[in-house]
Amino acid sequence: MWREIGDREAGKLRPNSFSNRIKSNRIQTLQLSNGKDIVSPHRGSVNSLQVDLTEGRYLLSGASDASAAVFDIQRGTDYEGGGVIRKHKCLFMVDKQHEQGHKYAVSSAIWYPVDTGLFVTGSYDHHINVWDTNTTQVVMDFKMPGKVYRTAMSPLATSHMLIAAGTEDVQVRLCDIASGAFAHTLSGHRDGVMTVEWSTSSEWVLITGGCDGAIRFWDIRRAGCFHVLDQSQSQLGRRPPILKRSAMIKGSTAKSLSASQSSFAKARTPQTKLMNAKQSPVGKIPVKGSLKQRLHPGMLSSQDRATAHYGAVTGLKVTEDGMYLLSAGSDSRLRLWDVESGCNTLVNFETVRLQTSKPIQLATSQNLALVFVPCMTAVKAFNMWSGKTSLTFRGHYEHVNCCWFSLQDQELYTGGNDRQILVWSPSRSVSDEDEGAKDEDNWSD
């Protein structure tokens, strides 16, 4: 660490590079926290975790005992071991005893992206509830046609307040908080929808994964999905860097321009003759490419039946830049997709065992190619480009269902069937431990 500080002082290291290197070093030292303890009030498996996107302070959890709880992860409620261990008890919890609480398992719990005044819970009791955080009362209730597996809201949205819901029904429903009604439904899956995820580069693009093994891309402004991922369509490795790619594009466009100019000079005379001639009814229809290219990709029978996994799609996670999508399936496979081309990048992730009966929640680190995946009783951190296991976190006694990586503190939160919420923090250095020591020089009396 001191070397990086010296390089930064000397101007050899840019601020962003310095920050990314420090964060990378902290992530590589993640271990079960011995200074922070989340006291879980849940009496069932923890199915969902999320830290609010505005302050990075409040942790929201949902569990199978039909409860949802909120924790303050920056300020402890109790201290043990002479103030060394911070106990974080829930600020409040809503459960079956609440008059408006869920009756069955809470499968998804998410914060309203703009502030912490609202949070959303989805349950197996066929309901999605929108809660007021201050009064712990339900301000909106959406009745769904089946069990709710996942809910999601776009962190980029400025033009809509839609909750995307994946249920055991074949249709994806968009619930509008502004109107309190369903905006519209998205039809295309042939089985239940187990996971939904909004794009991190566009507020209009929604990605869904179904029990039919399909991953579909939707533009909510138009009818039908515009792309279906096919595991047989692949490209090797990641895209070239932007600067290199732009140079390649400039070279290719220069060649194409020179070629087009020469061909245009040759074909100029016959083109004027055609313009003066009488147009036929067929000539009035503009044709840009073949018929197959002009058709809606989601409507082609061959592409519409494409699958991304040999089984249900149990998890989706879009990278921070929106360029890649990571998917997990009940076939115990992880796949990395190029969002622009829709191709499987063929990254060979090391052998894993994934849950098959319920959705799992994936997490990624910021500016570092690591993805955190619940693998039965452990959580593994894979290098996104090589597929190799970088870190393994073992601490749960039963299957792990969800994980959330805090970008602010570089901490990992995991929840599992053992009803526990574990915190994985960067190891404290000697300088951090001696921080509270009295500052004295060597010649003091």
- Provide the 10 A C-beta neighbour count for residue 142: 22
Beta strands 193-198 and 205-210: pairing type? antiparallel
Whether pLDDT at 294 is above 60: no
Give the pLDDT band of residue 407 (cuts 50, 70, 90).
Answer: confident
Task: Determine phi and psi for 191, rounding to 5 degrees.
Answer: -155, 180
More confident residue, 316 or 301: 316
Whether pLDDT at 441 is above 60: no
Give the pLDDT band of residue 8 (cuts 50, 70, 90).
Answer: low
**Measured torsion, CA atoms of residues 190, 298, 348, 32, in degrees rounded to the nearest 10:** -60
More confident residue, 201 or 6: 201
Q: What span, in angstroms and rounded, lies between the C-alpha atoms of 392 and 374?
A: 10
Q: Which residues pair with 218 in a beta bridge?
A: 206, 225
Q: What span, in angstroms and rounded, lies between the C-alpha atoms of 195 and 209?
A: 5
Q: Are 256 and 249 in contact (CB under 8 A)?
A: no
Whether pLDDT at 211 is above 90: yes
Whether pLDDT at 309 is above 80: yes
Nearest to 73 by CA among 93, 55, 94: 55
Packed helices 268-276 and 242-266: angle between N→C axes, nearest 10 degrees? 70
- pTM for this predicted structure: 0.81
363-386 pLDDT, tens digit each: 998 766 799 999 999 999 999 999
pLDDT at 241: 56
Q: What span, in angstroms and rounded, lies between the C-alpha atoms of 257 and 259?
A: 5
Q: Average pLDDT in the 172-188 region?
A: 92
Answer yes or no: CATH 3.40.50.1110 is held by domain 43-71+89-237+299-444.
Answer: no
Q: Are 371 and 323 in contact (CB under 8 A)?
A: no
∠ CA 128-133-139, rounded to 5°: 45
413-426 pLDDT, tens digit each: 999 999 999 999 99
pLDDT at 350: 87
Domain edges within the chain: 43-71+89-237+299-444
Q: Average pLDDT in the 321-347 region?
A: 93
Q: For the ranges 69-78, 155-164, 250-259, which has the lowest average pLDDT?
A: 250-259
The residue behind tokens 């420090």 is 22
Give the pLDDT band of residue 132 (cuts 50, 70, 90).
Answer: very high
257-293 pLDDT, tens digit each: 455 555 444 444 444 433 444 443 333 333 344 434 4
